[in-house]
Structure 1
Amino acid sequence: MKRVLWIFLVLILALGATGCGSSSPSAGSGKQSEKTVIVGLQAEPTTLDASQVADYNTSRAAIDIYDQLVEFKTESTEIEPGLAEKWDMSDDGLEYTFYLRKDVKFHDGTPFNAEAVKFTINRQIDPNHPYHDTGEFAYADLTFGPVKEVQVVDDYTVKIILKEPFSPFLSNMAMHSASIVSPAAVEKYGKDFTRNPVGTGPLKFVSWTPGVEVILEKNPDYFKGSPKIDKVIFKPIVEDQTRVTELEAGNLDLIVNVPPDDLIRIQEAKQFPIVEQPGMHVWFTTFNCQKKPFNDVKVRQAINYAIDKEAIVKNILQDTGEMANSPLPSIVWGHNFNLKNYEYNPEKAQQLLDEAGYPDGFSCSYWIPESGSGMQQPTLMAAAIQADLAKVGIQVEIQKMEWGTYLDKVYVAPEKSELDMHQMSFIGDNGDPDNFLYGLLSGEQIPPVGFNDSYYQNPEVDKLLKEARKTADHQERAQMYEQVQEMIMADAPWVAVDYEKQIVVTSPRLKNFKLQPNGVFRFAQVDLE
């Protein structure tokens, strides 16, 4: 009997030890359970090749695969060393020499060096480069347009020569489009590099299952030290409410674009941390300025007067955004605080439509994404705009599209465009006014070259924007940008609605997550409890 009892006790202890081993470190292996951060994105990423990224929903999934020569400090747009330990600029502002780190390798084991820098830039800007046809580089002209030549001085020194002085150059070199890619990987995968990305960053690519998830894992050999987490999984979840439900069920660690009603409820419950920061983000409706009737400034001004922008910000967004008064967000230097946006005035709108020859209004299409990069509440905002325009006789047909399809249809040459009006948002990449005003509204940035999706052209605006790019004096540049904003608002190529605050909600176990002004997510210093 004693022998049977002894055997019974041994079995109980063994089972108990086995049960503990399923959730605790194994005594034999010494392995810890994996720390995996799961992120709910607004939409499917469009690429993981940083050179091809054109929206910040995508950049959030891609950016930690890579590094840049210079970087933005945490929670700032101030420049600090990255893959370059230091740099020099010539007195005439035409030559930048970067001195590279010697202890860095790409995830595929190949060395990071000056040739990789030259390859990365030339692949984007040189149509004769053997790998230029491996992607579509929407940011190439905005980032590297003034670059004349990239010279390899030695293995760890690279010189970039400009055609003319370019004040935003260093800030541009910290943008996602200046991320350094592995030449060997591009040569191996060609156009499929977009789904087989290789950089030097804190996270390495594992897999991408379209419509389901992108999986990245830590780079244990990262030159700044191995990340504290093991994996990050990005899940595209289009429905805002679904993301909230999944977070509250414990299936997500971080969500974006929380509906305002849910945000208030979450704030009151105090169960999930809310991280927020003023954003370099503007939401707008834009017109096809080269197509009737939107090629008439009176029509564009009329629509601006007809839309109750304050009601959208207060009632739909519930003050998660700040009323816009220009295309340039108020936290970016050079913002013109003296400008007034178009007031809500349907009578003035009707008067302008009469003068333009449309006393009974007209019909048009209005494209919106089902969800996407910083698009806030696209359906509700579109419905409000549709209702306002109907009051002055403008009949709007809302057409909704998937995010990737939407971008493909918006960013086409004017002669190929089918759009009338559409929604868009933009978050600044580098904290410089040039990034917004030149990038979005210069006549030189009309698609497919850039992001001027209103096809707006004003020679005086273009002249000032080009001069500001070459001007070294900060105050002089600010004055030019203030004048440009006045001219753009008078021309009304957009309906500028709001500057969105950056707001994310996280699980309580996510620690040390910080927002960046340019909207990207960084996980190198993040931890999980």
Structure 2
Amino acid sequence: MTGVRRLSRWAGAALVSALLGACSPGTGVDRGLSKDGSGVVAAIAGEPDQLDPHRTSSYFSFEVLENTFDTLVEPDENLTMRPALAERWKVSKDRLTWTFTLREGITWQDGSKFGADDVVYSYRRIIDEKLGNAWRFEGIEHISAPDDSTVVLELDKPIYNLLSRIGGHKGLAIVNKKNVESGKIKTHPVGTGPFSVDDYNPGESVRLKANSRWWGGTPEIPSLTFRFIPEPTTAVADLEAGEVNWTDNIPPQQVERVSQNQDLKLDTAVGNDYWYLATNQKREPFGDPRVRRAIAYGIDRKAIVQATQYGNATVNQLAIPKTNPWHTAYSPYSHNPRRAAKLLAAAGVRDLKIDMLVTKEYPETVTAGQVIASQLEKIGVTVKPREVDFATWLDKQSKGEFDMLMLGWLGSQDPEDFYYAQHHTKGDFNFQKYSNSEVDRLLEEGQEETEKKARKKRYAEAARKIADDASYIYLYNPDVVQAWAPQLKGYKARSDSAVRFRDVGLTG
């Protein structure tokens, strides 16, 4: 997925508190659910760009898709891969053949029969159309369906993390061929998941209804409406007023206050996501690692975290968070403006001007852009944040039309997800155009290594080199923070940020 797959959505600028101050903790607001009193209304920070899981790279899309589609396997709350559409699997002794047995009786949300050919079609679509997750199928030589309930993956080399590759997130969802070919998948997808799309109001909301055919049982919630509320203060005010029942669009400076509101529940989890700066190495002078390192020394990560997240994040100079077993402790860059200035001088760079892409859809980029501009001004670098809409941001990133940008990436279960696509020379999301043959070798060896200790060593070495080269200038791992009305029972924030309502019940 792109570097926008899962992003925190909190504004970092100072907020006007008068609106929220009127709703003090413990006011006993009557919290209805949907307008008919039976469903859940969730406030998310932006509108999905589309609902095709293979083509979208927007977290807002995946908040919806998490509830409408299924993968062959999926991560549980501890990020251990569990059965989903496949009820079991077996692996050959040489680990080159994986055989998945599908659950019996699965149907699509339109009532048509689901089968192994649908899995083959979905995977071939990603591969043949060279979509964003095509890299996850590298090393998979053949995909077949010997019968309607069996899928076989034949590999040309062992893949340690095959399960997380094909099921780590809904970008690998199994899609309906007829739905794809009709073009309706963009706004009215047909999946196998616990909820189906009932109504889509562009610019306002998407309404889902419980899927009575779901293999996991009909969800208790009869309907689930995602409202698009980009302003965090409005999202929280609506939550406190009972207009919505769940949100993850909580301003970091309001987390403590919301946590004290006895009429709400708030949960946090250490997130697997990471935020970073990237410079365009095809544009001078950013091809010189000394210039990139100068930026890394010139910024103050703690100040950026405080301004954008109000402390609800952990500074990290690599991608993988400290709570992840694949974490490597490494912090090569202190906040050292003097050293930064010396690196620029050594590179022969003076009066550097940087055009920094930011987008209001992710307001922390706007705030961070202002903070970074102030910090780098001290080393003679002029940063001009340029605010564009998110669609333009994505277009300019893919075309390489930027000097520097800031955004985030959804971490997953495996180190490959944190580094390969972003930093391998041929990585699909290496938009900064970084290339280091030694890093390529280590990342490739990490893919093929089947012994965990040796594999961790390869990725740790690659991560250190990536940081030393400042391919990305890593900033922090944000916390996952979500709040909801107490009538929602069974909901819990997850470190992978997956928003799942299928097991949530209602009371009152």
TM-score for the superposition, normalised by structure 1: 0.86
Structure 2: which 5+ runs fail to align?
A: 1-31
| 2:216 alignment partner in structure 1 | 224
Distance 2:262 2:291 in 1: 47
Distance 1:528 1:365 in 2: 49
Distance 1:494 1:160 in 2: 34
Higher CA-based Rg: 1
Question: Residue 365 of structure 2 contacts residue 407 of structure 2 at CA under 8 Å; is this kept in 1?
Answer: no
Distance 2:406 2:108 in 1: 38
Amino acid at match of 1:89: V
1:432 Cα deviation after fit? 0.2
1:333 Cα deviation after fit? 2.5
Residue from 279, 283, 288 that aligns with 2:275: 283
Amino acid at match of 2:144: Q
| 1:182 alignment partner in structure 2 | 176
Per mean C-alpha deviation after superposition, the further-off stretch among 384-393 and 313-322 is: 313-322
Residue from 451, 454, 460 that aligns with 2:438: 460
| 1:122 alignment partner in structure 2 | 124
1:444 aligns with 2:431: no
Alpha-carbon displacement from aligned partner over 1:421-441 (angstroms, at most 9, x marks no partner): 001101123x10000111221
Amino acid at match of 1:509: Q
Amino acid at match of 1:346: P
Amino acid at match of 2:71: Q
Question: Residue 400 of structure 2 contacts residue 431 of structure 2 at CA under 8 Å; is this kept in 1?
Answer: no
Matches within 5 A, 1:60-139: 60-73=63-76, 75-127=77-129, 137-139=131-133
Amino acid at match of 2:333: Y
TM-score for the superposition, normalised by structure 2: 0.89
Residue from 354, 357, 369 that aligns with 1:364: 354
1:491 Cα deviation after fit? 0.2
Residue from 352, 362, 367 that aligns with 1:380: 367
| 1:19 alignment partner in structure 2 | none
1:316 Cα deviation after fit? 4.0
1:426 aligns with 2:404: no
Question: Residue 289 of structure 1 contacts residue 456 of structure 1 at CA under 8 Å; is this kept in 2?
Answer: yes
Per mean C-alpha deviation after superposition, the further-off stretch among 172-181 and 105-114 is: 172-181
Distance 1:477 1:341 in 2: 22
The DSSP-based 3-state class of the residue aligned with 1:261 is helix
Residue from 344, 348, 351 that aligns with 2:342: 351
Question: Residue 333 of structure 1 contacts residue 432 of structure 1 at CA under 8 Å; is this kept in 2?
Answer: no
1:251 aligns with 2:253: no
1:160 aligns with 2:153: yes
The DSSP-based 3-state class of the residue aligned with 2:324 is coil
1:169 Cα deviation after fit? 0.9
Alpha-carbon displacement from aligned partner over 1:484-512 (angstroms, at most 9, x marks no partner): 11111110122211111111111222221
The DSSP-based 3-state class of the residue aligned with 1:173 is helix
Alpha-carbon displacement from aligned partner over 1:221-259 (angstroms, at most 9, x marks no partner): 211111010111112222222212221221111112421
Question: Residue 326 of structure 1 contacts residue 341 of structure 1 at CA under 8 Å; is this kept in 2?
Answer: no
Amino acid at match of 2:354: C
Matches within 5 A, 1:194-273: 194-273=186-265
Distance 1:290 1:418 in 2: 10
Q: Which runs of 4+ in 1 moved over 6 A?
A: none
Per mean C-alpha deviation after superposition, the further-off stretch among 206-215 and 48-57 is: 48-57
| 1:18 alignment partner in structure 2 | none
Amino acid at match of 1:236: F
Amino acid at match of 1:381: A
Distance 1:202 1:421 in 2: 40
| 1:399 alignment partner in structure 2 | 386
1:271 Cα deviation after fit? 3.2
| Equivalent pairs, count | 474
Alpha-carbon displacement from aligned partner over 1:442-473 (angstroms, at most 9, x marks no partner): 1121xxxx222322111100111011101110
1:92 Cα deviation after fit? 2.0
Question: Residue 315 of structure 2 contacts residue 475 of structure 2 at CA under 8 Å; is this kept in 1?
Answer: yes
Distance 1:377 1:466 in 2: 34
| 2:22 alignment partner in structure 1 | none
1:269 Cα deviation after fit? 3.4
1:505 aligns with 2:483: yes
| 1:7 alignment partner in structure 2 | none
Amino acid at match of 1:215: R
The DSSP-based 3-state class of the residue aligned with 1:217 is strand
Distance 1:465 1:55 in 2: 26
The percent of aligned pairs where both chains have the same amino acid is 30
Distance 1:218 1:439 in 2: 35
Residue from 166, 172, 175 that aligns with 1:173: 166
Amino acid at match of 2:246: L
1:204 Cα deviation after fit? 0.5
Residue from 409, 429, 432 that aligns with 2:396: 409
| 1:479 alignment partner in structure 2 | 457
1:150 aligns with 2:143: yes
Distance 2:324 2:392 in 1: 30
The DSSP-based 3-state class of the residue aligned with 1:409 is helix
The DSSP-based 3-state class of the residue aligned with 1:497 is strand
Amino acid at match of 1:436: F
The DSSP-based 3-state class of the residue aligned with 1:44 is coil
Question: Residue 133 of structure 2 contacts residue 172 of structure 2 at CA under 8 Å; is this kept in 1?
Answer: no
Structure 1 408/295 Cα, relative in aligned 2: closer, same or farther at 3 Å?
same
Structure with higher helix content:
1
Amino acid at match of 1:55: S
Per mean C-alpha deviation after superposition, the further-off stretch among 158-167 and 460-469 is: 158-167
Alpha-carbon displacement from aligned partner over 1:197-237 (angstroms, at most 9, x marks no partner): 11111000112222111111100121111101011111222
1:315 Cα deviation after fit? 4.7
1:292 aligns with 2:284: yes
Question: Residue 116 of structure 2 contacts residue 148 of structure 2 at CA under 8 Å; is this kept in 1?
Answer: yes
Amino acid at match of 1:38: V
Distance 2:395 2:216 in 1: 37
Alpha-carbon displacement from aligned partner over 1:318-348 (angstroms, at most 9, x marks no partner): 22000112122222232211x1141111111
Distance 2:464 2:370 in 1: 29
Question: Residue 53 of structure 1 contacts residue 176 of structure 1 at CA under 8 Å; is this kept in 2?
Answer: no
Distance 1:398 1:126 in 2: 38
Per mean C-alpha deviation after superposition, the further-off stretch among 265-274 and 479-488 is: 265-274
Structure 1: which 5+ runs fail to align?
A: 1-23, 25-31, 128-135
Question: Residue 42 of structure 1 contacts residue 238 of structure 1 at CA under 8 Å; is this kept in 2?
Answer: yes
Alpha-carbon displacement from aligned partner over 1:362-405 (angstroms, at most 9, x marks no partner): 11210012124xxx722221111011111111111111122233
| 1:6 alignment partner in structure 2 | none
1:34 Cα deviation after fit? 4.7
